A and B are shown apart, each in its own frame.
Chain A
Amino acid sequence: MIIEEEKVNNRRSYSSYNIVQKGDSEMPVVEDPLLAPPGSKVLYLGNEAVARGAIEAGAKVATSYPGTPASEILSSLARVAKKVGMYVEWAVNEKVAFEVAFAASLANVRAIMSCKHLGVNWISDALLVAAYTGVNGGLVIVSADDTHPYSSQNAEDTRYYTKLAKIPCLEPSDIPEAKEIVKYGFKLSETLQLPVYVRITQRISHSKSDVTVGEVEKVNREARFEKDFKRYVMIATYSKERQRVLNKKYYEDAVKIFDNIEFNKVISNESSIGVIGCGVTFGYVVEALERLGLADKVDVMKLSTPSPLPYNFIGKFLENKEKVLVVEEGEPIVEEGICRIALSFNRNVSIYGQYTGHIPREFELSTGIVAKAIKAFIEGVTPSFERKAAEEIGKRIPALCAGCPHRASYYALKRALRELGKKGIIVGDRGCYNQGIHPPLRAIDTCICMGASIAMAVGFERAGVKEPVIAVIGDSTFYHAGVQPLLDAVFNNSKITVLIFDNSWTSMTGHQPNPGTGVNAMGEPSLRIRAENIARSCGVGFVKVVNPLDLNNTIKTIKEAIMYDGVAVVVCRSPCTLQYLRELRKRGEKPDKIVLIEDRCVGCKLCVTQLGCPALLFDEEKKKPIVNRELCSGCGLCSQVCPREALVLESKLKEEE
């Protein structure tokens, strides 16, 4: 394998580059805010507040798989793991992450597992049964839901899972409370012997606020597992009884605790009108009421326990109320529950919210939106939430970075298909390479969820489409969810091409390490897994490794793969440019740069229109490209696309001289 790789190492590649851990290069050395002394006031990112909550609760195990907006929970814990005596793991996927944390909890230590909302879909299989066995050491699951969505394939209200799994859900209203709620979650988990779910949204995750650092609880517990097959071996024989135990915990015990929990509050003005703010929306409710001059005229409930709902607490609030508005971001889960409780208590109250058109169902809320909602609610009319179209002029479309090797891989794939006279169906997957959809590449035809590319390619091919089917999947996504579908493709004699875009980092989410990186979350060196070895051991007949920045060889190899009669895998391997540049800076070296030789350039603009590289601009008057030297990282792709050799790497130019 190594020999094969060396052959393609004539361009930027791994042999000339060492793996470094994120953050150890150009960032200044400042005292880590996660280690600030108790009592001090520091600026925390919401995700850091969650992390600090876990530290203060004495958690010993933390796991996750990267996903915006949740990633910084684990990456910030990774920064201080050794100092606080915590084991921190970037798992290969969320299900694995959950199972690692779950077992740690069975062994009586406190554990935290975090992910974005889509990760909860992955853990659900294990979670629903983990609720049956219950836990020992506190187990807290934190989901950061992207409710807009800003950087996800869907918006999803994962609080539904807590009703499905029957586990208690806590929802902080701001960053300082996120820390307190996470800390409390471990205790609650141990009281109920259930996993506890903390739901935050992107606004809490990615905002910053002053937070007062608390004391670290001394939890001196030996890890030990006491066998109890009736509890831990969930076969039908034993799960029948555990079902009864779980129902009591969720529908009775948790409700009683939530009826008296300090995180739920009522601001009473003895009004017959009430507004309920759930989680992050509480802040919007308070500010909207101030703005409308209604702060002392209506009753306000701050609700931090959406599941199960505190029955008596809400029943009491609804007493003597004429109407109540429920403000929540996501789905109308609390709103539905409150209707149920109002009926149980026979309260004569009207419940307003999403179902009445007072709260928009889509997108993130804001003070402005909530003020409009409350005003209409008070006046007895239905608000209108027309969204003004954003300023389209000069719109900044997301793009692959300058020098990104994925641009070269996509370009090679398109060229290969064109040379074969085929259109092809390009089945995409999740990661940075999603940006390949934007002009000018427009290179993918579908993009659904983690790992869908390979299985969907099999589906397209088996449906009988005449075009070649090509799955495009990144390295981290391949390890997360691509290996099993690859096995499936071989097992079922498929004829598809799989391109693994391997830049050796989980880049989209901020450069977390994965099995192909050579380092783990703890910063320890780990065996560097090679995607081609996995492909071979899955029985793939055609496996080749190319450096996509070597354009002609990549085109040739992809063509061979498409023509191959069976499953063909091409690993397109070149380091993430941002990591490559970081490494150069660390060594005090400068990257190569592209130079335009003006008299060779005929102004065909191919370099600009074919590649869309942020480092290549165009002077419409002179009809010549302009190289942005600040951004150019010298990947050399444009020099291989230019038909006149007008774009040349500085290093080559020196050789020529």
Chain B
Amino acid sequence: MADKKSYNIIITGVGGQGVILASTVLGMSAIDSGKTVKIADTHGLAQRGGSVISFVRIGNVHAYTLSEGEADVLLAFEPMEALRNLKYLKEDGIVIVNTHPIVPVAAYIGATTYPPVNEIISKIRKQCKKVFFIDATSIARKCGTEKMVNTVMLGALSALDDFPIKMETILKNIRKMVPPGTENMNENAFKEGRKALLNLLKKV
């Protein structure tokens, strides 16, 4: 972020996926990198299953939340949540989406509908130029448990060219924040996520 005043990230997902933990790790990493940071979390009432958004603003800013068209990156742990929050993205903003859907329970009792993933993905493609899809859930599962979707996604985020925090700093804070005994598993998940995005970047 050489000539940029601030770097604005939105992390979004479903309650239980570890959105808040991911943004906290970024916040701690920003401080360790000597930067100022503001994070705003919005989440519904449900402990699990509700939509969660976290705004992470690195640099000299005054407001905690982001308004439409202000985010440099949208990091979405779930495709529908990505679609819902595209409005926050800058015109040239980057989207990283976990393609694994979490269908709300309400869809099974007819209280809402959940479109097929392909439809969601093509809608996202239509609306943004720089978009990367990775199956973070499968990667996390291969690394040990689906619960590490957040770690995989942070790994992917760290691979972006202009990302203002070093991967080592993020990794250090992941190791600090995850349950004891799962540090190495999480480090592996982080690196796999990073690799996945680096591969996609090569193709661009």
Interface residues of A (CB under 8 A from B): 26-30, 41-43, 150-151, 174-175, 203, 206-210, 282-284, 286-287, 364, 366-369, 371, 390-399, 401-402, 434-435, 438-440, 508, 578, 608-609, 612-614, 616-618, 630-631
Contact = CB atoms under 8 A, between A and B. Distances in A.
Interface string B37-60: 111111011111111000000000
B28 interface: yes
Contact of A395 (B63, B68, B104, B179): B104
Contacts of B64: 174, 203, 207, 209, 283
Contact of A367 (B48, B67, B80, B83): B67
B164 to A, nearest CB: 14
A392 B112 contact: yes
A393 B114 contact: yes
B61 interface: yes
A30 B105 contact: no
B179 A209 contact: no
Given A613-B105, A614-B49, A208 B111 contact: no
A612 B46 CA distance: 14
B45 A393 contact: no
A618 B108 contact: yes
B111 A578 contact: no
* Most B CB within 10 A of own CB, among A28, A29, A43: A43
A208 B45 contact: no
Indicate the member of B31, B108, B115, B146 with the most A CB atoms within 10 Å: B108
B36 interface: yes
A500 B42 CA distance: 31
A282 B70 CA distance: 19
B49 A393 contact: no
Given A207-B64, A210-B37, A614 B105 contact: yes
A394 B31 contact: no
30 contacts: A28-B176, A28-B179, A28-B180, A29-B180, A30-B176, A42-B31, A43-B27, A151-B44, A174-B62, A203-B64, A207-B38, A208-B23, A209-B36, A210-B30, A282-B62, A286-B62, A367-B63, A367-B70, A390-B84, A394-B103, A394-B104, A394-B113, A396-B46, A397-B106, A401-B46, A401-B48, A435-B45, A612-B105, A614-B105, A618-B108
Nearest to B183: A28
The CB with the most chain B CB atoms within 10 A, among A175, A371, A399, is that of A399
B201 interface: no
Contacts of A368: 67-68
Contacts of A29: 180
Given A30-B177, A397-B111, A208 B104 contact: no
Nearest to A371: B67
Contacts of A209: 36-39, 64
Given A287-B63, A439-B106, A393 B37 contact: no
A54 B48 CA distance: 32
A578 B41 contact: no
Contacts of A210: 27, 30-31, 36-37
| B interface bracket (residues with beta carbon within 8 Å of A) | 35 or more
Contacts of A150: 42, 44
Which 6 pairs show the lowest CB-CB distances between chains A and B? A368-B67, A283-B62, A208-B39, A207-B64, A394-B80, A398-B46
A624 B46 CA distance: 26
B49 to A, nearest CB: 5
Given A203-B64, A368-B67, A608 B44 contact: no
B24 interface: yes
Contacts of A508: 45
B200 interface: no
A287 B105 contact: no
Contacts, number: 155
B14 interface: yes
Nearest to B113: A393
B129 to A, nearest CB: 21
A579 to B, nearest CB: 11
Contacts of B84: 390-391, 394
A397 B39 contact: no
Interface string B159-187: 00000000000000000111110000000
Nearest to A202: B42
B101 to A, nearest CB: 9
Nearest to A395: B112
B49 A43 contact: no
A27 B180 CA distance: 8
A392 B113 CA distance: 9
A369 B27 CA distance: 26
B23 to A, nearest CB: 8
B65 interface: yes
A619 B180 CA distance: 37
B109 A28 contact: no
Contact of A439 (B45, B70, B103, B111): B111
B1 interface: no
A402 to B, nearest CB: 8
A394 B112 contact: yes
B63 to A, nearest CB: 4
A521 to B, nearest CB: 21
Nearest to A284: B63
